[in-house]
Copies of this chain bind each other. A is one copy, B any other.
Amino acid sequence: MAGESKPVIWMRPEQAPVGRPAERSRAEITAAAVELADREGLEAVSMRRVAAVLGTGAASLYRYVATRDDLLDLMTDSTAGEYDLSAPSGDWQADLLEIAHQARKIMRRHHWLPTLVITRPTLGPHAIDLLEHVLDVLAGHPANPARKLEAFALLNALTALFVQNELTTAHPGAQRQFAHLHHVAAGGSHPRIAALLAATSPEGNSRDPFATVLTRTLTGVLG
């Protein structure tokens, strides 16, 4: 019969039990893709370029991965293996914040990660371990299980949004957006925006709102 549907990559066996053994592994390919993305950004991660890093042909990668998106999922999950998870302390807020701070460090290390986390959320093996850990932290918390899942998703997504924001505002492209805002403010309408731009100091803001916003949001969803 045709129509063989394609399950999630984590359920497909990495190596066939018979036949010629593969020369590489998913982990090897993932590492090459991650290294390439760290160096030249996500858009540089094309099948041909990843294959070139490995010294193989582009078509060979399809023995390890059904599609490029699968490779992106592998990259995302591999970074979820960089967490250093210690036993729950009893203070779930502190523990979750610790995880968020680690997430921020990881996402800064891999500047392509926020985009992936936000646009294609996945639950690979490492991410599942992380989820298990978060559920462990929240074990004593009396909240709907669905809410706990939402809290986990929000923790990831919000952190990604924050890091993406602080990464793009450093980029030169953001300066042009800012210049455009000033231009609009000078136009006469939009007095509120003009006042805002006049009142704010471009640099040297007060404390980092990351922790504040995150804890507020988490307590918001967890009741």
Contacts and interface: CB of A to CB of B under 8 A. Distances in A.
Q: How big is chain A's contact interface, by range? A: 35 or more
A70 to B, nearest CB: 12
A contact patch SS = helix
Contacts of A7: 176, 179-180
Interface string A135-157: 11001000011111110011001
A93 interface: no
A196 to B, nearest CB: 4
Interface stretch (A23-31, A49-57, A213-221): A213-221
Given A132-B193, A146-B200, A206-B144, A180 B10 contact: yes
In the A-B complex, list the 7 residue pairs whose CB atoms are closest, starting with the nearest: A216-B220, A135-B192, A145-B196, A132-B190, A217-B217, A145-B200, A8-B180
